[in-house]
Chain A
Amino acid sequence: MLRYIVRRLLWLIPVIILVSLAIYILMDLAPGTVIDSLITEQMTPEDIEKLRQEYDLDKPVIYRYGKYMWGLLHGDLGRSQVTGISVWESFMTRFPATLKLSLVSVVIGTVLAIPIGIFAARRAGTIWDNLTTGFTLIGQSMPSFWLGLLLLIAFAYKIQLFPAGGYRGPSSYVLPAVTSALMMTALTARQTRSSMLEVLRADYLRTARAKGVPERLVIRRHALKNAWIPILTTIGMGMSRFLAGSAVIETVFSWPGIGRLTVEAVSQRDVTLACGCVILTCILYVIVLLIVDLLYAFVDPRIKAQYASGGRRRKVTA
């Protein structure tokens, strides 16, 4: 198990190298630099040149990248080139907002999605199944920025029920959480439905019924437990996606999270901050998926047996 975790974490190294390199190159290719906002009309060309040297902009991109990586090797994510605050600190002040919104969305999404999915699977082929499938299709294909704006117009301007944005108190969670949870619900409900459909045909459910297990427990204890793995994967993917990339929703609802922090950093050409944010979200992404992977072992004893034997399949004892 430990070996598996270490191996998975080691994979982060090439990922970080490639991702940061890509950011440095792309941001170098993009028009404008970080000093653009620092230049005033009073500055002489010499002043600007001095500023360029200060930010190493006179040297090739690979030099700046090398310098950044050297710092990273020593555990230093550097400082924001605009504010001068350390990247780690900037990230961590914004992270709680994103984490809370993600958790709320995932919880809402999961709590809604699993019953919906089970409901649809048990009535497969009926009008109810078609209705839920229709709902999940809409939920899945609706762009979140559009839905977010619609909700804002409806519930923040027309009926002033919730704040239009910002991060103050529980009511400010409602609209962004609903927006992101809808997609999550749609995806997870679809996955739950197909996963349950497969399990509902299984022979062991007939065995359970033949034992006199009440139908509600047949579904909850015997079927759902076998259907969990694909559902868990979808939830994990949703969680990691919220953590890493809710930039759109955070922008629409002016939510002070890491998604918006990254967007701001990129638009100000703050390479250090942008790169640091992306690296940290990469790490978050991998860790969440790793946790999901480890949860498999708790759900399915066959996977646990594989971990126990260090990846090799355990022999069946006869």
Chain B
Amino acid sequence: MGSELNGQAAKDNKELVLEVNNLVVHYVLQEETVEAVNGISFSLEKGKTIGLVGETGAGKTTTALAIMNLVPDPPGVIKDGTIKVCGYNMLELSARQLEKIRGKEVSMIFQDPMTSLNPVITVGDQIAESIMLHEKLTYSQAFNRAKEMLEMVGIPGARATEYPHQFSGGMRQRVGIAIALACNPKLLLADEPTTALDVTIQAQVLDMIDELKRELGTALVMITHDLGVVAKICDLVAVMYAGRIVEYGTLEDVFDRTLHPYTEGLFNSLPDIRNRKNQLQPIPGLMPDPTNLPRGCSFAPRCRYVSDACREAQPTKHQVSETHVIYCSAYDDSNFQIERARGRGGNG
């Protein structure tokens, strides 16, 4: 599926920063195998932002770790697929080469700022470390750069000599961002960077990522389960379910011309402030057990439009427009519409 998408982007002659092709990642445990990512493909141009949206356990974080080639092994095994970051084939590089690319071409902001900084190293040193490794600067030069990075994320440079425990959660996340951006990476992976933060701080951090991204021309993979975050900063959206992309398109495609039943379910479970009497319609049931995925469409057990065909075979791909792709067998019937589409006059 992705090869066509990639091909399309290549035709447009845009600079591709990230190409993920048919990625399969499993966690092989003694008793069972967790099928975390089951064949996803997408690509990202320079300076663009893609949102990977989905529930907890949809395989978003695993996808990001696979892009860095940092899936914990054991138990993680990248079974299939290719990943190219700025042309480098991440899954075939030696450890040495990977070390050169990580932090330089691609870097990552982690979900929990309380645990992702080293408690016994000053924040300045943690930022400077990455600069020293990649830019071949002396320690004092790197440390000065680290101070500038801190200023850039809104922390006084003088606090570079302090330790993570002296900062609040929001500030630690800023430090995490400063570390990730220290060497002007071409690709930034942000794994739910605002989930662990207060709502007020969330907005600040998000604004900052958005601003820095524009300033530095960084491409961004934003992993989130928050559709508000997606609407705010993403150009492209990939909705993930049980390790697969179910709907892929531009922000407008996915938000205004929603086609997939799961995406519809996500929108229906959002509270509507203008219509507070409206009952929320959460998606019934739970995500299927990733150690025991159904044979057919993995969303079938929870889908309101399910048919026997869905339970039997993997969903078929429908390329709705040049940018918009869905994986849903219900659309094999050309008259099929989801309720959300009917509401807006059936314009698919």
Contacts and interface: CB of A to CB of B under 8 A. Distances in A.
Interface stretch (B16-24, B164-172, B314-322): B164-172
B70 A316 contact: no
Contact of A207 (B133, B166, B176): B176
Given A203-B110, A203-B112, A213-B99, A208 B118 contact: yes
Nearest to B69: A209
Contacts of B107: 210-211
B100 interface: yes
A212 B133 contact: yes
A225 interface: yes
B110 A226 contact: no
B102 A209 contact: yes
Nearest to A214: B99
A204 B130 contact: no
A242 B190 CA distance: 52
A202 interface: yes
A203 B100 CA distance: 21
A317 B158 CA distance: 14
Nearest to B182: A211
A313 to B, nearest CB: 10
A228 to B, nearest CB: 8
Interface residues of A, number: 26
B118 A222 contact: yes
A89 interface: no
A274 B201 CA distance: 66
- Which residue among A204, A221, A300 has the maximum number of chain B CB atoms within 10 Å of its CB? A204
Interface string B100-133: 1111100110101001111111100000011001
Chain B contact residues (Cβ within 8 angstroms of A): what range?
35 or more
B267 to A, nearest CB: 32
Contact of B179 (A202, A203, A209, A211): A211
B83 interface: no
Given A204-B119, A210-B68, 13 more contacts: A204-B115, A207-B176, A207-B179, A208-B118, A211-B129, A212-B98, A212-B100, A213-B99, A214-B96, A225-B118, A226-B120, A301-B120, A318-B168
The 6 closest A-B pairs by CB, nearest first: A212-B103, A212-B102, A211-B103, A203-B115, A211-B130, A204-B118
B286 interface: no
A143 to B, nearest CB: 38
A226 B119 contact: yes
B95 interface: yes
B117 A204 contact: yes
Contacts of B116: 203-204, 206-207
Contacts of B101: 212
B255 interface: no
B119 A300 contact: yes
A300 B120 contact: yes
A215 B96 CA distance: 9
A317 B170 CA distance: 12
B130 A212 contact: yes
A301 B110 contact: no
B150 to A, nearest CB: 14
Contacts of A208: 118, 129
Contacts of A284: none
Contacts of B336: none
A302 interface: yes
Contacts of A203: 110, 112, 115-116
A16 interface: no
A221 B128 CA distance: 14
A317 B167 contact: yes
A104 interface: no
A316 B165 contact: yes
Contacts of B121: 221-222, 225
A299 B168 contact: no
A205 to B, nearest CB: 8
A57 B103 CA distance: 78
Contacts of A215: 95, 99
B118 to A, nearest CB: 4
Interface string A75-114: 0000000000000000000000000000000000000000
Contacts of A210: 68, 70, 102-103, 107-108, 110, 180
B163 interface: yes
Interface in B150-176: 163, 165-168, 171, 176
B104 A207 contact: no
Nearest to A318: B168
A202 B120 contact: no
A204 B115 CA distance: 6
A202 B114 CA distance: 11
7 contacts: A203-B110, A207-B176, A211-B103, A222-B121, A302-B163, A305-B166, A317-B167
B129 A213 contact: yes
Contacts of A299: 120
B165 A302 contact: yes
B134 interface: yes
Contacts of B130: 211-213
Contacts of B171: 318
Given A209-B70, A302-B163, A302-B165, A226 B118 contact: yes
Nearest to A215: B95
Contact of A305 (B115, B165, B176): B165
B110 A206 contact: yes
Nearest to A125: B74
B225 to A, nearest CB: 19
